[in-house]
């Protein structure tokens, strides 16, 4: 017996390489202006009768209110004429995703469960998760690109979920706007207070990583359009050097990502041999390590000042030997790179364990001595399932014992 998926024949025991989306986004009768490019905003204004000679000025006004002041209603836009505000409100919204739940970790990490509309009116809503990680030198927002994930990486909680649909550019940008709402980071708003948050002066969201739910390069156009809005200097203003797009290795899209998006790149590698990576990251059966590394060597703009980050999750007894570390160094020779060692973050039902810290330190020392210095960061948000590889849109009903175990683990790391 065989199973046919995406025109490839798989043995029944092998995990599928990719999933097919179950639903799609349908534009509502009154669409949101959040996430539109300047050109698309001008087109939207033209559709409601704004003269071409006025469109550039009006776009700049809307851009300022959306991405500098964080307006949620057209009535807040006092520099826009009342008649135009009324026309805008009759045809559009400024809707962001709806926050269903907010959790705050013992270490200050914040996770939001966000609700999005289903395909048709009356359908069950879709849900994604977004995480804010405050640290001494930065504040990182981890953003999702899909409801669920196209892929089936065996160590990843999100990979156990169905792929429901891609997010729109507006829904991706909306996650950043929601975070700024909750943190009070808009112009003339009161800043949030809490564990890990600076009270004044410093910017709260300094970095954005496309490392949440989903494979960004399987939702390329929406991710591209969203990140160009996010990096616009007259709005949200997060430099492309502070935006990182993470991929599991969609080789044909890597060069295009460098040329059309131009952000930093991270690659989920996790193994140095094809036979092991085939199990951990089944996409490797389609784009093996050799092809992936060739694409990385040719990433547009790659240099010592703009290195690729290779992510490597530390799995006990699986990929954490000294021989693996030495092979990793050999594998990346000649590529301007950093290696990010990620202690495995457990989730209910996983078969994997995190490597012992002593083993992680030995592995890290080999990497450091080879010039790929990158500190092993203490896992953040484990007690609320907000750490790398733990996100899942369906709310998990953990037992009291499981919750206590997660919290105890976070307290001891």
Supply the residues annotated as catalytic. 129, 388
DSSP for residue 271: -
Tell me, rounded to whole angstroms, the distance of Cα 71 from its chain centroid: 24
| R_g of the chain computed on alpha carbons | 22
Q: And the tokens for 181?
A: 């709402």
Contact (CB, 8 A) for 69 and 187: yes
- Give the integer Cα–Cα distance in Å for 153 and 158: 8
Residue 55: its H or E element: helix 52-67
Contact (CB, 8 A) for 92 and 77: no
Contact (CB, 8 A) for 216 and 230: no
Contact (CB, 8 A) for 370 and 332: no
DSSP for residue 3: E
3-state SS class at 4 = strand
List strands edge to edge, sheet with 207-210. 98-104, 110-116, 126-134, 139-142, 207-210, 243-247, 264-268, 308-314, 337-343
- Give the integer Cα–Cα distance in Å for 264 and 257: 10
- Give the integer Cα–Cα distance in Å for 91 and 203: 34
The C-alpha angle 399, 356, 249, rounded to 5 degrees, equals 85
């Amino acid at each position: 017996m065989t199973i046919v998926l995406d025109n490839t024949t798989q043995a029944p025991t092998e995990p599928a390489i990719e999933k097919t989306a179950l639903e799609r986004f349908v534009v509502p009768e009154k669409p949101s202006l959040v996430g539109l490019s300047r050109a698309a905003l001008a087109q939207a204004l033209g559709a409601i009768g704004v003269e071409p000679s006025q469109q550039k000025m009006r776009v700049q006004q809307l851009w300022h209110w959306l991405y500098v002041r964080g307006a949620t209603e057209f009535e807040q836009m006092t520099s826009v004429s009342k008649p135009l505000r009324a026309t805008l409100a009759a045809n559009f919204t400024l809707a962001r995703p709806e926050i269903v739940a907010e959790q705050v970790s013992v270490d200050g990490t914040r996770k939001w469960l966000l609700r999005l509309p289903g395909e048709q009116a009356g359908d069950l809503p879709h849900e994604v998760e977004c995480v804010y990680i405050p640290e001494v030198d930065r504040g990182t927002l981890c953003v999702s690109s899909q409801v669920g994930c196209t892929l089936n990486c065996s160590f990843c909680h999100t990979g156990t979920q169905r792929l429901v649909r891609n997010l729109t550019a507006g829904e991706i940008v909306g996650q950043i706007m929601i975070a700024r709402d909750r943190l009070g980071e808009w112009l003339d708003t009161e800043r949030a207070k809490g564990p890990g948050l600076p009270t004044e002066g410093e910017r709260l969201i300094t970095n954005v990583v496309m490392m949440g739910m989903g494979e960004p390069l399987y939702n390329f156009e929406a991710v591209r359009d969203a990140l160009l809005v996010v990096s616009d200097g007259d709005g949200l203003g997060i430099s492309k050097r502070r935006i990182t797009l993470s991929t599991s290795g969609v080789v044909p899209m890597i060069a295009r990502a460098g040329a059309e998006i131009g952000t930093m790149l991270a690659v989920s590698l996790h193994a140095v041999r094809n036979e092991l990576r085939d199990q951990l990251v089944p996409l490797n059966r389609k784009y093996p390590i050799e092809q992936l590394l060739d694409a990385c060597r040719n990433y547009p703009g790659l240099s010592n000042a703009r290195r690729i980050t290779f992510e490597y999750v530390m799995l006990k007894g699986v990929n954490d030997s000294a021989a693996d570390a030495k092979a990793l160094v050999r594998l990346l020779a000649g590529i301007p790179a950093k290696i990010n060692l990620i202690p495995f973050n457990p989730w209910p039902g996983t078969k994997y364990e995190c490597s012992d810290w002593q083993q992680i330190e030995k592995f890290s020392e080999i990497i450091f001595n080879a010039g790929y210095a990158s500190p092993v960061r203490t896992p953040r948000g484990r007690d609320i399932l907000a750490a790398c590889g733990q996100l899942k849109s369906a709310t998990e009903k953990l037992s009291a014992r499981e919750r206590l175990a997660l919290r105890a683990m976070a307290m001891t790391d």
